[in-house]
Amino acid sequence: MKKVALIMGSDSDLPVVEKGINVLKEYGVPFEVHVYSAHRTPEEARKFAADARENGFGVIIAAAGKAAHLAGALAANTTLPVIGIPVKASVLDGMDALLSTVQMPKGIPVATVAIDGADNAALLAVEILAVTDEELASKLASKRSLASAAVLERDAAIAAKYNQTI
Ligand code: RP5
């Protein structure tokens, strides 16, 4: 199976990225985690992205805060799918990172998830790998059914508590 790369701009992003690591573990997807910055270590970030396909990666997830150029900088150097996680790391509450990550110029896409949305970033990476992996696809389907069943159970409990019967 192809690996997922989780790249963060600073180790201060780790508490957010860990939510994604847990999802990948849950699905048994192989991954690597690195700290590379578009601004502080641009050459390492560039090289990682340029070699990623050859090194067995299928998807790259990039988490960064403030003027978050990491996902875009990685995407500029690979044709693998890149998923961006804008991190809430400043007085602007993540809006800075959201706009920096999502507003990519035509031709260099970054699939941007919600601010601090590492769970969904990892889940999207799993879904991308599952396009060519039936086992992973059926794991996704069964977890989705379990999650729906849990919501319906909560609905039944709340309905039983508050809904009046005539
Ligand atoms: C970004 O700046 C990082 O991704 C991080 O979210 C933010 C702050 O980094 P530190 O100053 O905590 O290293 O590049």
Does residue 159 lie within any of the structural domains? no
Is 90 exceeded by the pLDDT of residue 13?
yes
Beta-carbon-side half-sphere exposure of residue 17 (alpha carbons within 13 Å): 25
| Predicted pLDDT at 164 | 86
| Chain centroid to CA 92 | 21
* pTM for the model: 0.95
Q: Is 89 in the pocket of ligand 1 (CB under 6 A)?
A: yes
Does residue 97 lie within any of the structural domains? yes
Q: Residue 151 carries which side chain, given as an amino acid letter?
A: V
Report how far residue 41's alpha carbon sits from residue 33's, in angstroms, rounded to the nearest whole number. 15
Q: What is the pLDDT of residues 27-59, one digit of tens each?
A: 999 999 999 999 999 999 999 999 999 999 999
Does residue 163 lie within any of the structural domains? no
Does residue 156 lie within any of the structural domains? no
pLDDT bucket at 165, cuts 50 / 70 / 90: confident
Does residue 150 lie within any of the structural domains? no
Range(s) of the domain holding residue 105? 3-132
Does residue 48 lie within any of the structural domains? yes
- Reading the block at residue 58, the tokens are 């299928």
CATH assignment at residue 122: 3.40.50.1970
Does residue 79 lie within any of the structural domains? yes
| Number of domain units in the chain | 1
Q: Is 65 in the pocket of ligand 1 (CB under 6 A)?
A: yes
Q: Is 9 in the pocket of ligand 1 (CB under 6 A)?
A: yes
Atom index in ligand 1 nearest the CA of residue 89 equals 6
Distance 31 CA to ligand 1 centre (A): 22
Does residue 69 lie within any of the structural domains? yes
